[in-house]
Amino acid sequence: MILRFDKVSYRYPGMAAWAIHDLDLAIHPDESVLVAGASGSGKSTLCRASIGLVPHFHRGELTGRVLLGGLDTRQHPVYQLFRYASLVFQNPDAQLFNHTVEAELAYGLESLGLSPSDIEERLTWVEKLLGLESLIRRLPHTLSGGEKQRVALAAVLALRPRILLLDEPFTHLDPEGAEQLRSTLRLIRSEGIAFIIVEHRLHEIITDVDRLIVLHQGEMKIDGSPRQVLSGDISTYGLNLPPLVRIFRALGWEKTPFSVQEALREMDANHLSPQIVLNFQEQNSIVAGPAPSAYRPVVEAEDLWFHYKDRPVLCGVDLKLGQGECVALIGRNGAGKTTLAKHFNGLLRPNRGSLKVFGLDTRKTSASKLARHVGFAWQNPNDQLFRTTVREEVLTGPRVLQAYDPAWCNRLFERLGLGPLLDRSPFSLSEGQKKRVSFAAALASQPGLIIFDEPTAGQDDPFRRELAQLIHELQREGRTVVLVTHDLEFAARHASRWLLLAEGHMIADGPPDALMANPTAMAKAGLRPTQRFQLIQTLKEKTKE
Amino acid sequence: MIGSSLDPRSKLIVLLAATCVLMTFHRWFELAIALGILLIVTLLLHLGLAWLGLLKGLGFAAFTFFIVAGLAFDLATAVLAALRLLSIGTAFFLFFQTTSPEALSNALIKTGAPYPFVFVLTVSMQFVHVLMRRVISIRDAQRARGIPVEGGLRALRYFPALAGPLLIQAFQLADELAEAMEARGFGAPGRRFRYEPNLRLLDWAIMIGSIAAALTVIFI
């Protein structure tokens, strides 16, 4: 046994509630464990307690006992424990603190007191294992998000820990990056290293783990094989179920398919009718975009070009967005999605071509004027919080823009569940609550176009449901919604149209199903069709036969 | 890195000696010659473009010095102040361009400086880039909701919209960073370094030479 929790409870300094409570857990060498649960369920605290950061770094009150490699973490400082267990944190920026990638990888090895020759040997091993040869001389701040994560993983893997912990590693990755991380984790397992992975998006890793643990309000509710756990009653724990499991559950079928092949096998074996799934899909299909006759363009871009210094980011983009549409901008990290979205509200202006938003030429209209028409809900809500209360935070924008409508704002507070939080400091809120405040701030001036930048990243199922409802309400009010996202399952369910971007080019534009049926465009954008789509397509073909 | 064959300690001694010498010059042509020599070294090290980048900030500071000294004293003092700032700035530029933060921190530790102090100092240099990116994100987030954070007197009123989130994120980043460092053995006793700096004959010669030159200029 490499890691053991004996009746462990912990609360952060000054907090009344336990972050984890009465936790018993044993992790064996070679095990791969997925820890799931809603936001605030204690997942990150479990990671920190596993490597001694709780209580040594965070202080607070710890009861019970955590044994790592046989050492009681309370009795041993973190620098004695880090050779047994390593943690990859959520924010890659905050864990790359050396001047070069090479120095980053060597840092922990120097802490271990290894000789220079041993350090070289470990560096060569980890560079090869994770394919970092081309990055080794780079400065960490010049790396992409996916590259930073690989380096952060390599930096702890070089220590050859007996157990590796990863805290929401898929959050900022595009589908290709996620696939690369899965391959890396398989390699790590083949090296005999156990891992614990904390993740909201279960489908990203569920097929690569032997065990699934569900935490809820700091307590361990279920522990077992992924199939055992997912076939039980887990509806109250706020989990993002794998998409095919979600379909089967909605239809009242007990099986837990993780892949399309499994789903088909289960359906055949249990004589489940494909037509039921197809009917279900039909009933749950997304709200269609506006009818062609009612199409009123709110965004019109023609031959849009933009470059940062000498690097082209948008290359001749043409597009139209209609009133009441929900459109998803999709592509790899660095494909130009956020850059394009920033053109809609005048934060960036095209180097060439034209862009009109609600008839206003963005090259000649100030960002503050466009802010009345375009709301932008950012991925990181902390970028905008500066007021002392939630109410002030939300109302600052409309007051500056002289667009304050008390009735609308009150409705907004109610709709986003902010009523009880209005007099609280926005800084004291949970990340999910902060996100709702940022949505309210973006909508407070009653914009006709609202852009959500990676709205589901790191969010649990209850939040995703609320967001879906909000999007549909906004559409019903005739507002246009743009989702900038890697979350294809969410985009396929809630956007009536996808715009695929690859290296600054708009390579495809159409309904999600039509684009997912276009393998060339999908491959060019580094995407794969969703499991739901694959299942439906296969069933449609089967029923035709 | 260019010029990294020398031990950072010997380069540090050269830098200190050069700074002392530049501080003692009181005639404009002495400073002009010194600046000329530094610029030739800059060009020989292929750092001309990088120096031009530095000049955006350093040139502005030198110009401000020139104006302030000109108004407070006279033209000669203003020229001296501007030239001195440019020369010393260029000397420091050459040092940091040819010395990586790791090499510098290893060398400082070798001279007996406490490891936590040295490491935190070098790490803070890395985080300038991260914080610069945060500034851009915060500025965009505020502009997107119409808050004027750029230019004009109105922006002054909304300065907290920029400074508040930045300050909080800087603290948060520092906290996360400290945690990540702790998790990789920061402060572990018996730490060894991949590259142990070693003073060679050339380093000693350069150190003795620059100290002797500085003493000669200062006292003779």
The 10s digit of each residue's pLDDT in B71-90 is 988 999 999 999 999 999 99
Closest residue to A382, CB basis, from B161, B169, B195: B169
Tokens of A506: 């708009």
Local structure of A497: helix, strand or coil = strand
- Structure confidence at residue A234 (pLDDT): 84
Judged against a pLDDT cut of 50, whether residue A3 lies above it is answered with yes
Rg over alpha carbons for chain B, rounded to the nearest Å, is: 22
Judged against a pLDDT cut of 60, whether residue A287 lies above it is answered with no
Shortest alpha-carbon distance between residue A265 and chain B (Å) = 45
CA distances in angstroms from A234 to A20, A231, A237, listed in the order given: 19, 8, 6
The model's pLDDT over A156-201, given as tens digits with 9 standing for 90+, comes to 999 999 999 999 999 888 898 899 899 999 988 888 899 999 998 8
- Structure confidence at residue B41 (pLDDT): 93
**Which chain A residues are Cβ-neighbours of B176 within 8 angstroms?**
89, 91, 94-95
Tokens of A263: 């789903």
Rounded to whole angstroms, the Cα distance separating A152 from A170 reads 13
Rounded to whole angstroms, the Cα distance separating A357 from A449 reads 9
Question: Do residues A423 and A391 touch, judged by C-beta distance below 8 A?
Answer: yes
Q: CA angle, corner A484, sides to A480 and A485, nearest 5?
A: 130
Instruction: Work out the average pLDDT over A404-425.
Output: 94
- Structure confidence at residue A209 (pLDDT): 96
The B residues from 170 to 199 touching A (CB cutoff 8 Å) are 172-173, 176-196
- Structure confidence at residue A283 (pLDDT): 75
Rounded to whole angstroms, the Cα distance separating B130 from B136 reads 10
Rounded to whole angstroms, the Cα distance separating A509 from A499 reads 5
Judged against a pLDDT cut of 70, whether residue A289 lies above it is answered with no
Judged against a pLDDT cut of 70, whether residue A237 lies above it is answered with yes
Judged against a pLDDT cut of 60, whether residue B3 lies above it is answered with no
Q: Does B144 touch chain A (CB under 8 A)?
A: yes
Question: Do residues A157 and A86 touch, judged by C-beta distance below 8 A?
Answer: yes
Rounded to whole angstroms, the Cα distance separating A386 from A384 reads 6
DSSP code per residue over A247-272: HHHHTT-----SSHHHHHHHHHHTT-
Local structure of B5: helix, strand or coil = coil
Q: Does A445 touch chain B (CB under 8 A)?
A: yes
Residue A293: band (very low, low, confident or very high) from pLDDT cuts 50, 70, 90: low
Average pLDDT over chain A reads 92
Closest residue to A93, CB basis, from B130, B186, B189: B130
Tokens of A121: 């040997």
Question: Do residues A40 and A219 touch, judged by C-beta distance below 8 A?
Answer: no
Which of the 8 DSSP states describes residue A403? -
- Domains, chain A, with CATH or none: 3-238 (3.40.50.300), 292-530 (3.40.50.300)
- Structure confidence at residue A17 (pLDDT): 93
Task: Determine if the peptide bond prior to A55 is cis (ω within 30°).
Answer: yes
Rounded to whole angstroms, the Cα distance separating A408 from A423 reads 18
- Structure confidence at residue B2 (pLDDT): 44
The model's pLDDT over B148-187, given as tens digits with 9 standing for 90+, comes to 887 667 778 888 999 999 999 898 888 898 899 999 998 8
Q: What percent of chain B has pLDDT over 70?
A: 97
- Is the ipTM, as predicted for this complex, more than 0.85? yes
The model's pLDDT over B24-62, given as tens digits with 9 standing for 90+, comes to 998 999 999 999 999 999 999 999 998 998 888 898 889
The model's pLDDT over B107-117, given as tens digits with 9 standing for 90+, comes to 888 888 887 78
**Which chain B residues are Cβ-neighbours of A400 within 8 angstroms?**
145-148, 158
The model's pLDDT over A40-73, given as tens digits with 9 standing for 90+, comes to 899 999 999 999 999 999 999 999 999 999 999 9
Residue A288: band (very low, low, confident or very high) from pLDDT cuts 50, 70, 90: low
The model's pLDDT over B119-130, given as tens digits with 9 standing for 90+, comes to 777 777 778 888
Residue A315: band (very low, low, confident or very high) from pLDDT cuts 50, 70, 90: very high
Local structure of B117: helix, strand or coil = helix
Question: Do residues A159 and A191 touch, judged by C-beta distance below 8 A?
Answer: no
Q: Which residues pair with A312 in a beta bridge?
A: A307
